Amino acid sequence: MSNIEIIGIDHGWSMVKTATQVFPTGVKEIANEPPMRNDILEYDGRFYSIGERRLEVRDGKTENENFYLLTLAAMAKELRKRGKQEANVYLAAGLPISRFSDEKKDFIDYLYKNKEISFRYEDNYFKVKLVHVAVFPQCYAAVVSKIMEFNQRVVIVDIGSWTIDIMPIENKRPVNGECISLQNGLIPCMRSLNEKCYRLYNTEIDESMIQHFMRYGNVDLDEEYTKLMAEELGHYADGVYNSLREYKINLKTSKIIFVGGGASVMKNFGKIQQKNISYILDVKANAKGFEYLGTVSLKNKK
């Protein structure tokens, strides 16, 4: 394993995360070579600006080249952090639990279509040889390094950009028959919030400001906008709790751990604050978990 870099990438619809990096899913092709190379990916003779406005949600992430280009940028950012420009890479990614079986093969084929890749990101050239691509279930990955500490049934609720994954863990293993994915993540929440903002004030709030408010509970806006966001995020948290009730999860006695970008929403704006409810606020938790699972898988193969 000494000459293999295991890189976990969480391909969210809003943000791409690695173990050390977070950036928006923006991809925009540029006609000519730009004079400044900040956030510029050069691949196959074309130039792309990375990390501006997020992509629109589609039926799948393999419909076009966007998430492949974001994968190259993510690998470049992570390799640069590790002081490398050339590497043999074990790429570990993830999918929502409800779509895992149906999409796993296509996603692996999509990421693995070029085993040797040369590209430039900002001021550095990178040469990557993919030695393996693995796909793991989101939600499980976010807590996998902590599972041995669980001494009772635990319900993991992963609130991401587009989906909410609900995964009960019992005897340190996922209860596959009770895993659920709901399509009411943070992007639908932000859309609903801005629809109300437009009706009331004839304007919208930039998503980056909403995301900052979600995470930290404050933002440099007038009071009517922060009050609106707090109210709508409180309603969203209520809706998440109601969804858990619908699936027979006892909010008073079940041990619940919120993870993903929405964990901060539940912590900052949820009305239920109890000892049985906890939060993993690191938005990179799934990406770190993919690396952990990749490391275990690689060791077992040896």
148 with 119, same domain?
A: no
Query: Residue 1: its pLDDT value, please?
Result: 56
Q: How confident is the model at residue 116 (pLDDT cuts 50, 70, 90)?
A: very high
Amino acid at 163: T
Domain match, 152 and 120 both: no
Alpha helices (H) along 32-161: 66-81, 100-111, 140-143
| pLDDT on residue 78 | 97
Give the end-to-end CA distance of the chain in Å, rounded to a whole number: 9
User: CB count, 10 Å around CB of 132?
Assistant: 18
For the chain, how many residues are written?
A: 302
pLDDT tens track for 255-284? 999 999 999 999 999 999 899 999 999 999
| Residue 53 CA from chain centroid, whole number | 16
pLDDT at 2: 64
Structural domain of 28:
4-137
Q: Verify that 39 and 98 share a domain, yes or no.
A: yes
Specify the number of domains making up the chain. Answer: 2
Do residues 155 and 249 make contact, with C-beta atoms less than 8 angstroms apart?
Answer: yes
- In this predicted model, what pLDDT tens digit does every residue of 222-252 receive, in sequence order? 999 999 999 999 999 999 999 999 999 999 9
Please tell me whether residues 150 and 118 are part of one structural domain: no
pLDDT at 302 over 70: no
Return all residues near 133 (Cβ < 8 A) that are at least 6 apart: 90, 91, 92, 93, 108, 111, 112
Q: Give pLDDT tens digits for 38-95.
A: 999 999 999 999 988 888 888 789 999 999 999 999 999 999 999 999 999 999 999 9
Conformational region of residue 150, where left means phi above 0, alpha means psi within -120 to 50, and beta covers everything else? beta
Calpha distance 151→161 (Å, rounded):
30
Inform me whether the pLDDT recorded for 301 exceeds 80. Answer: no
Q: How many Cα atoms within 13 Å fall on the side-chain side of residue 73?
A: 32
Residue 254: pLDDT band with limits 50, 70, 90: very high
Considering the domain architecture, whether residues 47 and 152 belong to the same structural domain is answered as no
pLDDT(183) > 70: yes
Nearest one of 241, 248, 273 to 168, comparing CA atoms = 248
- Find the radius of gyration of the CA atoms of the chain: 20
Task: Find the CATH number of the domain harbouring 117.
Answer: 3.30.420.40
Residue carrying the six token digits 């430039």: 120
In the numeric block, the tokens 């596959």 are attached to: 176
Element (H, E) at 17: strand 15-17
pLDDT, one tens digit per residue, over 185-206 is: 999 999 999 999 999 999 999 9
Examine the domain organization and report whether 9 and 121 are in the same domain: yes
Q: What is the DSSP letter of 55?
A: P
Q: Between the CA atoms of 27, 28, 32 and 37, what dihedral angle is there, to the nearest 10 degrees?
A: -50
Please choose, from the candidates 124, 106, 127, the residue with its C-alpha nearest in 3D space to the C-alpha of residue 116. 127
pLDDT at 299: 82
Domain identity same for 163 and 36: no
| Residue linked to tokens 């950009």 | 161
* SS3 of residue 163 by DSSP: coil
Cα angle vertex 296, ends 292, 301, to 5°? 145
4-46 pLDDT, tens digit each = 999 999 999 999 999 999 999 999 999 888 888 899 999 999 9
Q: Give ∠ CA 14-263-254 in degrees, rounded to 5.
A: 135
Q: Is residue 238 part of a domain?
A: yes
Looking at the fold, whether 151 and 275 belong to one and the same domain comes out as yes
